[in-house]
Structure 1
Amino acid sequence: MNNNLTKSFALILSSCIASIVFADNNILHDLNEGDPLVYSNADQPNDPKDKKRKPKRPPPLPQQVFVDVNGDGSLDKVAWGSPRHSLSVTFLGYGDGTFIKKGLFHGDKHLPKKAPKILNFADVTNDGRADKIVTVMPPMKKPRPRPDDHDATADPHPKPKPKHPPKTLVYLGMADGTFSKRPMGITND
């Protein structure tokens, strides 16, 4: 008898949960007052607030690479976060699988802030130390339709074109585990 009662209670509870989950998202009833409350689901396409706010996205996961930055023969860990920034943190390796706790930061304030950046690390100068390679992607320019262009074969949705080609900057790896302050080939202003 007790087992049947438990099964019945579980069945009633699961049906209540299912009815709540599959209920209409537009109106919820407050059990205390009995008045319907309008519920605005942020995932619905008809939400008027969607045009005013950006959807919350989780921050990008940090990326990391293991290279020898200071040329001592042991791998160092270099981590960076957002593709919008060229900031990287280097954790020097001891050679036994452990790294220093305090990281060495590197970033260039002279790069455009809103341009996407791609970071790579390789020994470009063949000196035994990894160099930081930053490719700065240009902002996209939307093509404007010409008013006198009545060509029926023209693409109605032209793809945006870059304003200029991507720029690649190389920061030399230094013996202390940092990268040079200015990229290779750029003179001080």
Structure 2
Amino acid sequence: MAGLGAAGSGAGAGTYAVFRDAETSSGNTVRAGTLDLDIGSNDERALIGPDATSVEPEETGGRELLVSNEGSIPGELAFGIDDVRDLENGREKPELEAGDETGGDPGRGAGELSSVLELRIAVRRDSDEPPVAHFVGGADEFATVADVPVGEELGRVALPAGGDVVVETTYRLPTDASNRVRTDRVEVTATFELTQTVSD
């Protein structure tokens, strides 16, 4: 009887049942955001523009460049000058008479224009608003191109997702620029870099 009782107890334990219910969790997708820096169309990316080809003393010029974050993540826009290249482009008689002793054609590194040409680069949220920053120069001042640090970050501004800023470049050739810079050319290479904003 004891043996039969044990067997019956075991059979009863195997017949227990539980209720169950299940639901499916869907839509669990993680997608990385984007940083997409845009500085205009291919033929409009120059900071100074195509018209600065025959600059005279007392002349001032420049242009505005729209820089946008077309991505979905806010970022910080950094700016720097990578290279400043002086070209002599030969020497005319007035240059020689003014004491231009470098020479060379095109004469990389031999020109003098960067030592007198002045530059200011301001950043605005809108063309009609005051600058929020200056990458080169200041509100009432210019910097001589040759004095601008090369290979360094010159400033940064916040650039939200879908946002843009106006980068305004102004150049001027002072009245005291001598004949030594006649026919000289200076080429400036700059870089914009957009980095994700990191929260504290």
Task: Give the structure, 1 or 2, with the largest relative contact order (CA under 8 Å, sep 6 or more).
Answer: 2
**Do both share a fold (TM > 0.5)?**
no
| Bin of the TM-score, shorter chain as denominator length | under 0.3
Q: Which has the larger radius of gyration?
A: 2
TM-score (norm 1): 0.22
**Structure 1 or 2: more strand by fraction:** 2
TM-score (norm 2): 0.22
